[in-house]
Amino acid sequence: MKVLLAGQKWFGLEVYRAIAAIADVTHVCAPRGDRLFDAAVYRGASTIEAGGLKAESMPDGIDLIVAAHSHDFIGERTRHRAHWGGIGYHPSLLPLHRGRDAVEWAIRMGDRVTGGSVYRLSNRMDGGAVLAQQHVFIEKGDTAAELWRRDLAPLGVRLLAEAVARFERDGFVPGHEQNESLATWEPSIGRPPAFRPDLIMLGSG
């Protein structure tokens, strides 16, 4: 099974290491100079600079796109170039806390339980079918950074690796649709709003 991994930083690198033991990671999309980009060059994988992954630049023969802390929206035409589309990890119990700062919002809202979800990439940000999900507890005094490093990032590495293994073993994994009546969305904190094609589509109807 051939995988294209799009991501960055510690999380992207750890996911790379985990899934490379399961599947053939032939291409990596990451910011130039990032540790994930450098690891891909070292291992001989083909590289695409972050921001450059489009349908036109999507390589042939990819079975699955894996997003691991990718800040680029991977569009529909690009996903359709992969045999089984794409999957990603979101640090919340989807459909709760969609958006870029899910961990921070879970803490701000006083949640005692949160978690991580592997989901299918779609035109609705963080809204695709869920393939795997697991909860963690928020400890008293936790910051978003502490909760991410201690629980949510390692959980994401494991859940993504397990999902890739399922695709390798079983082929297409559909997941289950999210319950939109339970969905919540919070805005980004201290950075520009995330690109949301679902809102563009609603506005053009």
- pLDDT one-digit tens code per residue, 158-175: 999 999 999 999 999 999
Query: pTM for this structure?
Result: 0.92
Spans of the chain below 70 pLDDT: 191-205
Which pLDDT tens digit goes with each residue over 89-127?
A: 999 999 999 999 999 999 999 999 999 999 999 999 999
Phi-psi bin for 195: left (phi > 0), alpha (psi -120 to 50), beta? beta
Domain positions in the chain = 2-203
Residue 190's pLDDT is what? 77
Looking at the chain, the whole-number percentage of residues with pLDDT higher than 70 is 93
Mapping DSSP to helix (H, G, I), strand (E, B) and coil, where does residue 154 land?
helix
Q: Classify domain 2-203 at the CATH topology level.
A: Rossmann fold (3.40.50)
Q: How does the average pLDDT of the chain come out, rounded?
A: 93
How is the beta sheet containing 24-30 ordered, strand by strand?
46-49, 24-30, 2-7, 64-68, 86-90, 113-120, 130-137
* Residues 136, 116 contacting (CB under 8 angstroms): yes
